Amino acid sequence: MALSGKLEDKVAIVTGAGSSGPGLGTGKAISVLFAREGAKVVLVDKFEERANETLQLIDDEGGEATVVTADLAEIPACQDVVDQAVARYGRVDILVNNAAITSPWSLLDTTPEVYQQVVAINQTAPFMLSRAAIPEMVKVGGGAIVNITSIA
């Protein structure tokens, strides 16, 4: 169900496109709204079943999307996400860096491994995804990158 069609013929990559539990998480809500506005959406999540829930919502409304399962803590996965978007839809116009994690422990209880995982997902992945997406956006005359943060 298209709204105004503002994103018709655009391709959007949304990380953290699935969500756990009932309701709509930020990535899921953005993905559904983008599809309603006419975008083809690349749903990126570490957990395929979560992204598939978002895909089903978009499919049910007649939108177009595809799932890319990726562990964004792995640097090569970032380029692979963009490559898969281009292979599937031929372009990238929008990148939404939404995927994020937090440490469930206090500062003193957070292990170096957990800290490195948080930095990899919350800082390195958005940088590497942007680095991979920008050349594709330049090819189509520009694009938009949205970085989402939280006080968490």
Residue listed under structure tokens 């959406």:
41
Token pair, residue 97, equals: 């860096």
All structural domains of the chain, each given as residue ranges with its CATH number in brackets, are 11-147 (3.40.50.720)
Rounded CA-CA distance 69/76 in Å is 13
Number of Cβ within a 10 Å radius of residue 6: 12
Token pair, residue 91, equals: 């372009």
- Predicted model pTM: 0.94
Give the model's pLDDT for residue 19. 82
Name the 3-class secondary structure at 3.
coil
Give the model's pLDDT for residue 152. 65
Rg of the chain over all Cα atoms, to the nearest angstrom: 15
CA distances (Å), origin 104, targets 91, 109, 118, 152: 37, 9, 11, 10
Tell me, what DSSP letter sits at residue 74? S
Residue 77 reports pLDDT greater than 60: yes
**At what angle are helices 125-139 and 75-89 packed, to 10 degrees?**
30
* pLDDT per position as a tens digit, 27-53: 999 999 999 999 999 999 999 999 999
Residue 2 reports pLDDT greater than 70: no
Token pair, residue 7, equals: 């994103």
Rounded CA-CA distance 97/143 in Å is 14
Amino acid at residue number 93: D
Rounded CA-CA distance 85/43 in Å is 10
